[in-house]
Amino acid sequence: MRRTALRAGTPPPFIAMAAALLAALGALAWPAAAEEQQKEISALTARIEALPDRSRLLFDLTGLPPVTAHPVANPPRIIVDLPEVLFRMEANAGLSPGDKLIKSYRYGIFAPGRSRVVIDLAAPAKILKADSEAAAGGPRLVIELAPTSAGHFAATVAEQARLQPAEPPKLPATAAQAPTDKPMVVIDPGHGGLDMGATGKHGEMEKDVVLEFARALRDKIQETGRARVLLTRDHDMFLPLAERVRIARENNATLFVSIHADTLAASRVEGATVYTVSERASDAEAARMAEKENLADQAAGLESKADAEEVGDILFELTRRETRAYSRQFSHSLISFWREVGALNKNPSRSAGFVVLKAFDVPSVLLELGYLSSEKDLSRLTSQDWRERAAQKTAEAVDAFISARSREARAPAEAPSSATRPQ
């Protein structure tokens, strides 16, 4: 029988066939493995286990993400960072857990591709464990805390800050706008992501209510064809206050409108309020509102920092005064248009030191749509018909402001009188 000679280094045919088959099977298996690695992870439920010497916060998950955790101060909190996780439960589930260590907790998107859990502490605590693990009931996130002294907590925070200084989330750049002469209006839906803002007694969340209104307002303004519109956020994501101001300034906004809602213990208080910026609050309610809104970054676990306004020369100061005068001008106009909607607060024009309104060269107002604690306001804020009518009136106020500015640009006239300018 004639045998075929094999060259040195050439595998027998059956071995080559087996290797090819294994390679094919591996190629088929690889997409499945890659898909498993990229599989979306969800959090289904959350609960607290109060043990005699510790507290455990547990999230039931659909996968095992990597976890990091560290403490922060002022106020004392525990920050838990994860890759993006879809939290499939009520966002306000952790507001009142009634635990000796965990005063409250919240969760949500912190930045693109990143989620975060923020635990507000009722007392100083140390992290015993923060990890995802496979349990009998499925994967879960375990955050285990134990009491510690105030001194130990402060030392841990200081060491963490030394080893890894806190950084604000890295956000995608806003889309470049095509060159045009049309003015830019930046609409800022307040809060977002794990910062839910105010909540209603039926589970309504400020971050959702204001986003829906902002989208309706954008559409109404765009229908006029006389202005471009940019939302600081168009989905449920967290944005630091300084980032909102940066977006307005970098896009040379003609007007910046931040949209909010509020909640109060007094459920009889209702109606919309328009705020402008000032060094001294117009009243106690304005001061309370500004203090609350200026702490928004803390809700996402960022450190509070005193906002550093640009050091002003004469030109800076003149620009800031003119900008604030225009802000007040738009505020009065907006209130006049809103009277037709019939839902104004008894004191609809207020001012205070809102960080988000401090762009020295962009006229800015904060429109508080109403109170989630008021049944009357809540029925309006969740009504699509009311939202469309209110957005229409707001768009008309914006259009009137832009038209007036355009006339001034074409035929320069005297700026608003000094009597109307905040001193």
Q: What distances in angstroms separate CA 274 from CA 27, 323, 339, 369, one per listed residue?
A: 61, 16, 12, 9
Tell me which of 3.30.1330.10, 3.20.20.100, 2.60.40.3500, 3.40.50.11540 is the CATH number of domain 41-162: 2.60.40.3500
Tell me what pLDDT residue 32 has: 38
The enclosing H or E element of 116 equals strand 114-121
Backbone φ and ψ of 267, nearest 5°: -70, -10
41-162 matches 184-303+312-420 in fold: no
Tell me what pLDDT residue 397 has: 97
Per-position pLDDT tens, the chain of length 423:
444 443 444 445 544 454 454 444 444 443 433 343 457 899 999 999 999 999 999 999 999 999 999 999 989 999 999 999 999 987 667 776 778 999 999 999 998 899 999 999 999 999 999 999 999 999 999 999 999 999 999 999 999 888 876 666 666 555 555 557 899 999 999 999 999 999 998 889 999 999 999 999 999 999 999 999 999 999 999 999 999 999 999 999 999 999 999 999 889 999 999 999 999 999 999 999 999 999 999 888 887 654 545 556 788 889 999 999 999 999 999 999 999 887 899 999 999 999 999 999 999 999 999 999 999 999 999 999 999 999 999 999 999 999 998 888 776 555 454 444 443
Please say whether the beta carbons of 160 and 81 come within 8 A: no
Residue 349 neighbours by CB under 8 Å, 6+ apart: 273, 274, 282, 331, 332, 335
Please say whether the beta carbons of 121 and 50 come within 8 A: no
Sheet holding 102-111, edge to edge: 68-72, 77-83, 114-121, 102-111
Residue 135 neighbours by CB under 8 Å, 6+ apart: none
Enter the tokens of residue 298.
Answer: 């803390």
Please say whether the beta carbons of 97 and 104 come within 8 A: yes
Hey, what CATH topology would domain 184-303+312-420 get? Aminopeptidase (3.40.630)
Q: What is the sign, positive or negative, of the torsion defined by CA atoms of 145, 147, 149, 150?
A: positive
Residue 241 amino acid letter: L
Tell me what pLDDT residue 21 has: 45
Q: State the Cα angle at 406 between 404 and 407, rounded to 5°.
A: 65
Tell me what pLDDT residue 357 has: 96
Residue boundaries of the structural domains of the chain: 41-162, 184-303+312-420
Tell me what pLDDT residue 409 has: 77
The enclosing H or E element of 70 equals strand 68-72
Q: What is the sign, positive or negative, of the torsion defined by CA atoms of 9, 13, 14, 19?
A: positive
Rounded to whole angstroms, the Cα distance separating 369 from 277 reads 17
Tell me what pLDDT residue 99 has: 86
